[in-house]
Amino acid sequence: MESSSDIKITVFGKTDVGLIREHNEDNFLLANGETGLRTSSPEEVLRFDLGPKGALFLVCDGMGGAAAGEVASTMAVDSISVDMESRAAGTRERYARSLRRAIENANEKINIQSRINQNERGMGTTCTAAGLVDRTLIIGQIGDSRCYVLRAGNLIQVTKDQSLAWQLIEAGAMTVEEAKSFEHANIILQALGVQEKVDVVLSHVSLCRGDVVLLSSDGLHGPVSDEEMRDILATEPDPQKACDVLIGKALEREGPDNISVVVARFEGDGLPEPDTSSELAFSIFDPGTDPDDPEPPRRVQHPPMEKITEEVPVHLEALEATSPGAMPTRLASSTASTPSTNTDVQAAEESASRPFLTFVLVTLLAALGGALFLAFQQAHLPDLPSTPAPRAGNAAQAAPIPSSSPLPETPEPSLPPAQH
């Protein structure tokens, strides 16, 4: 592992409710693993040297009814930060596995909480976490919050949105400009808490001296263009001022959503000078396996169908099943999606057939109960005397007795003597 000594970090984060939302469902985190410092509301810029236990920055964009989105994003920040703080120092591969495991644990906790509390049912949150353990930035992502790197005046997005719009862009069915006005731009493919399991996408960037890392929720990169963000980061060397200006720019665009921003600058002799020959880009990181650091098996489940939120996570298999006229039947492969397996398809078919089988069973039980009830009634009711139907032309027999006619006297029956 390369030495992390003499890497200096200057970082600040800020969140704003925006101009449309009633409450803020976003959350963020700044953490220094070496000192145990964790904060979601810094009063000033944080400055520290990178230690063996690394540094971690998070942005979460919550969603759900009432304040459930705020609950989900807060739970994600708290759970991930605690898990990462408890880890021991190690290689970047071990750090990446720990980060992935921490995000998966947060998903499980949120999912359980949403099923326990009816008011929080269906809540979820995106999560983009950037951790630095040496000069390699490890990024774990769920949803469409983003990570950018500014280097030598160029701002490059180093994550891929796990969204329907991004899938269509990669499939060539839509341009980036068209995606901005796409009717279903709020549909995302994954969110923490909505599914029992998630597929955490790990990527990495080798940092250089002077790099600036930006984490943002879509409340920023939705209304504000990449060019505008680049210009602000390039002209505002102070992370706190950069956060203020970025959020101010989103508010100028009517602030349609909650806005969260983390800006971190990296300096020091522990980082090389920028290499203009190598291009910044999204790059998958495979941390491999370690017998001394076992991980639980992963199996991604389909999201619950009843989830209805402003941002609706859907599974890639659902997109592939759409009609050819609506969109491509097979979208371009992406690490944001989960490969289909026979087990997953079978589980989905069994899940879909259960409501129908339940309906048939209830219907049969109801019919059987009705038949038994009728049989019981027929067996216990007394036989009634049959009345001959009136014949045609014999109206007198069918005519009712007038109410004024005296009724024939019926002799009282003789009662037997009482028995002693």
Q: CA 77, CA 59: separation in Å to the nearest integer?
A: 8
Mean pLDDT over 43-51 rounds to 96
Q: Are residues 298 and 202 in the same domain?
A: yes
pLDDT tens-digit map of 62-102: 998 667 999 999 999 999 999 999 888 889 999 999 999 99
The pLDDT, as a whole number, for residue 135 is 93
Mean pLDDT over 356-383 rounds to 62
**Cβ count within 10 A of residue 196:** 16
The pLDDT, as a whole number, for residue 375 is 64
Q: Secondary structure of 325-388 in the HEC alphabet?
A: CCCCCCCCCCCCCCCCCHHHHHHHHHHHHHHHHHHHHHHHHHHHHHHHHHHHHHHHCCCCCCCC
Q: What are phi and psi of 374, to 5 degrees?
A: -65, -40
Confidence of residue 371 (pLDDT cuts 50, 70, 90): low
Mean pLDDT over 347-367 rounds to 57
Q: Are residues 256 and 357 in the same domain?
A: no
Give the lowest-confidence range in 35-39, 369-373, 389-393: 389-393
Between 239-252 and 226-235, two packed helices, what is the crossing angle to 10 degrees? 150
Higher pLDDT: 43 or 306? It is 43
Whether 412 is covered by a domain: the verdict is: no
Whether 3 is covered by a domain: the verdict is: no
Q: Are residues 173 and 302 in the same domain?
A: yes
Highest mean pLDDT among 61-70, 335-344, 394-403 belongs to 61-70
Whether 249 is covered by a domain: the verdict is: yes
The pLDDT, as a whole number, for residue 326 is 41
* pLDDT of 302 strictly over 60: no
- For residue 262, which of 385, 166, 128 has the smallest C-alpha distance? 128
- For residue 49, which of 273, 215, 269 has the smallest C-alpha distance? 269
Confidence of residue 158 (pLDDT cuts 50, 70, 90): very high
Higher pLDDT: 348 or 142? It is 142
* pLDDT of 409 strictly over 70: no
Q: Are residues 354 and 332 in the same domain?
A: no
Give the lowest-confidence range in 80-94, 174-188, 277-291, 306-320: 306-320
Mean pLDDT over 134-149 rounds to 96
Higher pLDDT: 82 or 342? It is 82
- For residue 260, which of 27, 38, 20 has the smallest C-alpha distance? 27
Q: How far is CA 114 from CA 308, 312, 394, in A?
A: 14, 15, 77
Write out the residue range of the structural domain in which residue 98 sits.
8-340
Give the lowest-confidence range in 134-143, 153-162, 372-381: 372-381
pLDDT tens-digit map of 240-294: 999 999 999 999 999 999 999 999 999 999 999 998 777 899 999 999 987 777 6
Q: Are residues 351 and 230 in the same domain?
A: no
Q: Report the share of the chain in percent with pLDDT over 70.
A: 68
Q: Are residues 114 and 243 in the same domain?
A: yes
Whether 408 is covered by a domain: the verdict is: no
Confidence of residue 359 (pLDDT cuts 50, 70, 90): low
Q: Are residues 135 and 267 in the same domain?
A: yes
Q: Are residues 316 and 211 in the same domain?
A: yes
Confidence of residue 183 (pLDDT cuts 50, 70, 90): confident
The chain-wide mean pLDDT, for the chain, equals 79
Q: Are residues 103 and 125 in the same domain?
A: yes
Mean pLDDT over 24-37 rounds to 95
* pLDDT of 347 strictly over 90: no
pLDDT tens-digit map of 100-122: 999 999 999 999 999 999 889 98
Provide the CATH number for the domain around residue 259. Answer: 3.60.40.10
* pLDDT of 231 strictly over 90: yes
The pLDDT, as a whole number, for residue 291 is 74
Q: Are residues 57 and 205 in the same domain?
A: yes
Q: Are residues 350 and 331 in the same domain?
A: no
Q: Are residues 262 and 368 in the same domain?
A: no
The pLDDT, as a whole number, for residue 123 is 95
